[in-house]
């Protein structure tokens, strides 16, 4: 493999959607290697949000290879995503002016609610477009675009809050990895995604109170909006991957939410 020759490391692919992540082994040393990761990675490493960045190298074909400290540990179980540790690391990210400034500097995209709707609409299959539950959800989103937030609420968001992206080291440190999706948007987008995927609807207020998250009517409505758009995007993704059981599970969840709306 060309990248092995240029890097000097023996590479072992690590499972993932992009196929660009590897465990690099040389002598007794191990590192986490990735091709073309976000240039934002250095800032995240300095903030202690990802494992330590060791070096970067541009290969002969123009790819950028990054090496991070190998972290012995595990990804979280779905049942662990309700933990206050998740809230703590999200608060750290969302409150960091340094991260916001540096993501802007490297060309981080600013995403609005309308952009999220357009992402859902793009190349939407006719099956999903005509599904009555999804139509009702889309109509709800069109009629309740999140308002009442300021430029100060536009923060760095990971935008793929998943247990697979939460790495708990053997030393008890929690990291968020895989930052290729990072954007600048209303910080409640990440919270809405967390709620949509892991927190029971009846427990949203309790989780917010426990973790000192403002949960006024405004925040409540914004979180619901982001949770619904995230469900729609996850349904679209499951359909594209032919994961129909997962897709139907998400549609049932979405329908139960819509039934409780006035």
- Residues designated catalytic: 160
User: CA-CA distance, 32 to 20, in Å (whole number)?
Assistant: 11
Place of tokens 């990895």: 177
Contact 76, 168 (CB under 8 A): yes
Question: What are the residues whose beta carbons fall under 8 Å from the beta carbon of 53, sequence distance 6 or more?
Answer: 41, 42, 45, 66, 67, 68, 69
Q: What is the DSSP letter of 106?
A: T
> Helices 217-240 and 113-121 meet at what angle, rounded to 10?
20
What tokens appear for 19 in the block?
């196929």
Label residue 127 exposed, middle or buried (CB < 10 Å: 0-12, 13-18, 19+).
exposed
User: CA-CA distance, 184 to 104, in Å (whole number)?
Assistant: 8
Query: Could you tell me the end-to-end alpha-carbon distance of the chain, in angstroms, rounded to an integer?
Result: 58
Compute CA 189 distance to the chain's CA centroid, rounded to the nearest angstrom.
9
What number of CA atoms fall less than 13 Å from residue 186's CA on the CB side? 25
């Amino acid at each position: 493999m060309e990248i092995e020759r240029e890097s000097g490391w023996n590479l072992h692919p690590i499972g993932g959607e992009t196929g660009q992540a590897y465990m690099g082994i040389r002598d007794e040393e191990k590192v986490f290697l990735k091709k073309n990761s976000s240039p934002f990675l250095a800032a995240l490493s300095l903030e202690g949000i990802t494992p330590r960045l060791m070096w970067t190298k541009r290969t002969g074909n123009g790819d950028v290879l990054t090496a991070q400290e190998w972290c012995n540990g595990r990804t979280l179980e779905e049942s662990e995503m309700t933990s206050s540790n998740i809230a703590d690391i999200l608060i750290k990210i969302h409150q960091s002016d340094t991260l916001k400034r540096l993501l802007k500097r490297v060309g981080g995209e600013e995403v609005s609610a309308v952009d999220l709707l357009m992402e859902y609409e793009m190349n939407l299959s006719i099956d999903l477009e005509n599904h009555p539950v999804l139509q009702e959800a889309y109509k709800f989103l069109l009629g309740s675009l999140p308002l009442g937030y300021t430029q100060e609420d536009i923060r760095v968001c990971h935008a793929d809050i998943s247990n697979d992206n939460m790495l708990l080291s053997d030393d008890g440190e929690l990291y968020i990895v895989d930052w290729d999706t990072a954007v600048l948007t209303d910080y409640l987008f990440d919270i809405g995604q967390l709620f949509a995927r892991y927190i029971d609807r009846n427990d949203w207020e309790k989780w917010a109170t426990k973790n000192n998250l403002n949960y006024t009517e405004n925040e409540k409505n914004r979180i619901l909006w982001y949770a619904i758009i995230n469900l729609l995007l996850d349904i679209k993704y499951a359909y594209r991957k032919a994961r129909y059981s997962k897709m139907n599970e998400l549609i049932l969840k979405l329908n139960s939410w819509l039934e409780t709306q006035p």
